[in-house]
Amino acid sequence: MANGAPRNRGSLTGALILIAIGGIFLYANLRPEWNPWPIISRYWPLLLILLGLGKLFDALGSGAASGAPGVARAPRRSGETIAILLLVLFLIFAVAGSRRFSRMSHQAESVDAQGADSVRMSVEMSTGQLRISGGASKLLEGDFDFRESDGQPSVSYSHSGKEGNLSITQPGSSRFGHIRGGENSWKIRLNNDAARELRVEMGAGQGDLDLKGIHLTKLTVEIGAGEINTDLTGDWHDNVDVRIEGGVGSATVRLPNSVGVRVHASGGIGSINVRGLHNRGGYYVNDAYGTSPVTMNVNVEGGIGEIRLIEGQ
């Protein structure tokens, strides 16, 4: 190389990227309990942003610099190098934070109705996977896998005579919630006869609500971002009001054909797919609507995503 000629640093950026990716997967192999995919899937756009800013910095710097007449200047790459170094530092912080804040614990809970036969229930979960079904011998039988950084789920119950109130809440999520490896997972079983009203509120995640056989009279479901699957098939002995609201994601509602069903569905930006129901006056109804002594009134609202209405058994 001639003295004073610029060094070729074209391969430095690619080398740093390979080192960073290799380091992540090496750590994942050494620590099988740590999952790198939540970090990669959420923050890969950061790589594009940093590379773009680095290239912009280099382009502006090369344009402003003056060189000897007739001598071609090698493009600057210091901005790209700094950007990749910043990315590596961020990944190191994310790995350390996810290891510290993703430690999981398990908790089992059971609650007796204590004579109450009409219980209002509320379930609030910030993020994770929620599964609710019936068939419990007690009022509540639950298994909770949770990140210690989110705090232990709180279960409270009070009753007066034949009426009760059950509340399940998640204290909160830490500020490292989006880079942690573990996922909260709640599996809740309810008593079919005592549960009368149910309210479910989720910040983000997936909700699977298998509610057939539970004698609800009112159901409210709210989810900020994610997927909600609600099974309302089976026989219903009383009229029931259902309201499901989804922010960003998809909502699938399976409806019974043995009782009358009337659905009002609206979506902000997305689609509404209906199977087995008929459009009548702006509502979707099944064949039993108007003739069955029991009616299920459903209101489904989606923000950005897909709403699926499926008539089942």
pLDDT at site 89: 72
pLDDT at site 70: 53
Q: Give yes or no: residues 139 and 280 share one domain.
A: yes
pLDDT at site 201: 93
Return the sign of the alpha-carbon dihedral for residues 174, 204, 140, 169. positive
The candidate with the shortest Cα–Cα distance to 34, out of 90, 89, 97, is 97
Q: Give yes or no: residues 157 and 85 share one domain.
A: no
Q: Give yes or no: residues 243 and 167 share one domain.
A: yes
Residue 74 and residue 6 in contact, taking contact as beta carbons nearer than 8 Å: yes
Please tell me the distance from the alpha carbon of residue 313 to that of residue 212, in angstroms, as a whole number. 10
pTM of the model as a whole: 0.68
Q: Give yes or no: residues 237 and 90 share one domain.
A: no
For residue 133, tell me if it sits in a domain. Answer: yes
For the stretch 192-224, pLDDT in tens is 999 999 999 998 889 999 999 999 999 999 988
Q: Give yes or no: residues 160 and 220 share one domain.
A: yes
Lookup: tokens for 57:
């910095």
Q: Give yes or no: residues 245 and 302 share one domain.
A: yes
For the stretch 76-96, pLDDT in tens is 556 667 777 777 777 666 665
User: Can you give the residue range of the structural domain that contains 291?
Assistant: 107-311
pLDDT at site 54: 73
Q: Give yes or no: residues 166 and 218 share one domain.
A: yes
Please tell me the distance from the alpha carbon of residue 19 to that of residue 295, in angstroms, as a whole number. 62
The candidate with the shortest Cα–Cα distance to 128, out of 236, 193, 48, 203, is 203
pLDDT at site 175: 40
Tally of structural domains, the chain: 2
For residue 6, tell me if it sits in a domain. Answer: no
Q: Give yes or no: residues 96 and 113 share one domain.
A: no
Q: Give yes or no: residues 168 and 301 share one domain.
A: yes
Please tell me the distance from the alpha carbon of residue 11 to that of residue 270, in angstroms, as a whole number. 44
For residue 7, tell me if it sits in a domain. Answer: no
Return per-residue pLDDT of the chain as tens, 313 residues. 445 444 444 556 667 777 777 777 777 677 665 666 666 666 667 777 777 777 777 777 665 554 555 555 555 556 667 777 777 777 666 665 555 555 778 999 999 999 999 999 999 998 889 999 999 999 999 999 988 777 789 999 999 999 999 999 987 544 444 444 447 899 999 999 999 999 999 988 899 999 999 999 999 999 888 889 999 999 899 999 999 988 888 889 999 998 999 999 887 667 888 999 999 988 999 999 999 999 999 998 877 788 899 998 6
For residue 295, tell me if it sits in a domain. Answer: yes
Q: Kind of pairing, strands 118-133 and 163-169? A: parallel
